[in-house]
């Protein structure tokens, strides 16, 4: 391990979700050495320290891994671009030690896994995927980049989730379903059939509410 392996910066800290990330870091014995606030138009949540704005970054070691504690896929994409433009070398992975992770599953950088998550065998996750607390992901699931799984969502085996898709809290995706890129699955929905790109589905069984939705890096959700 390099000298910065147990030290992270949190970049983009306007969302209260930052405190969930802090809790996972504490359980994983990872030191948060700074909170980078990149939105002067939004107040920083109380209780974060030390907080730095973008004009104060010159002294930072650009080799320290960065975590982006934002739920919305489009905002994570926007901030990741900013992170690399500012010269930081890598986005780190943060896996809560309470999570159960199959040793045969693989992920790219920026992977965030909250408390109580279970991930099955032979899964493959893209860049900057975020798995919120108590989510269950079955075997042989694949995702694109910047996917967000809401709390207590259940993804059954052999599903495919496209880039930038947001799975709402408590949603269930049945086996062998393909969800396209930039989709939104409403909270509590049960997805029984494939979902096309840029589609919002809601309900049990999930039905199409809107197509050609704005989202991902045009932001929304």
pLDDT digit string (tens) for 104-125? 999 999 999 999 999 999 999 9
Q: Give yes or no for a cis peptide into 51 (omega within 30° of 0).
A: no
CA 79 from chain centre, in angstroms, equals 12
Yes or no: say if 131 and 150 are a contact pair by the CB < 8 Å rule: no
Active site residue 29: no
The mean pLDDT value for 68-79 works out to 96
% of the chain at pLDDT higher than 90: 85
Beta strand residue intervals within 18-129, DSSP E: 31-37, 51-53, 66-67, 94-95, 100-101, 106-107, 112-113, 118-119, 124-125
31 forms bridges with which residues in the sheet?
A: 7
Triad 207, 182, 123: Cα angle to 5°:
95
pLDDT tens column, 18-65: 999 999 999 999 999 999 999 888 888 899 999 999 888 887 788 899
Triad 27, 33, 36: Cα angle to 5°:
110
pTM over 0.85: yes
Yes or no: say if 173 and 189 are a contact pair by the CB < 8 Å rule: no
Catalytic residue among 29, 37, 106, 139: 139
pLDDT at 173 over 60: yes
Mean pLDDT of the chain, nearest integer: 94
Q: Tell me how far apart the alpha carbons of residues 4 and 128 are, in angstroms, rounded to a whole number.
A: 20
pLDDT at 218 over 70: no
For residue 167, report the phi and psi dihedrals to the nearest 5 degrees: -100, 120
Where do the H-state alpha helices sit in 38-121?
73-85
Alpha-carbon distances of 215 from 40, 134, 159, 164, 211, rounded to whole Å: 23, 25, 21, 8, 11
Residue 220 is predicted with a pLDDT of 63
Residue 221 is predicted with a pLDDT of 63
The mean pLDDT value for 202-206 works out to 98
């Amino acid at each position: 391990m390099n000298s910065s392996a147990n030290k992270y910066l949190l970049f983009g800290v306007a969302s209260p979700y930052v405190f969930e990330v802090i809790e996972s870091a504490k359980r994983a014995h990872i030191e948060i050495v700074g909170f980078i606030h990149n939105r002067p138009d939004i107040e920083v949540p109380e209780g974060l320290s030390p907080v730095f704005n973008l004009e104060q970054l010159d002294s930072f070691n650009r080799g320290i891994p960065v975590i982006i504690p934002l739920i919305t896929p489009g905002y994570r994409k926007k901030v990741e671009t900013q992170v690399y433009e500012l010269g930081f070398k890598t986005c780190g992975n943060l896996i809560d030690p309470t999570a159960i992770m199959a040793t045969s599953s693989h992920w790219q950088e920026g992977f965030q896994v909250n408390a109580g998550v279970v991930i099955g065998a032979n899964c493959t996750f893209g860049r900057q995927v975020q798995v919120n607390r108590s989510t269950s992901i079955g075997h042989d699931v694949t995702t694109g980049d910047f996917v967000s799984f809401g709390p207590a969502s259940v993804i059954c085996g052999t599903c495919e989730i496209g880039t930038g898709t947001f799975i709402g809290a408590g949603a269930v995706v049945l086996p062998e379903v393909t969800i396209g890129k930039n989709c939104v699955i409403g909270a509590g929905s049960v997805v029984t059939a494939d979902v096309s790109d840029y589609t919002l589905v809601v309900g049990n069984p999930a039905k199409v509410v809107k197509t050609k939705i704005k989202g991902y890096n045009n932001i929304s959700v």
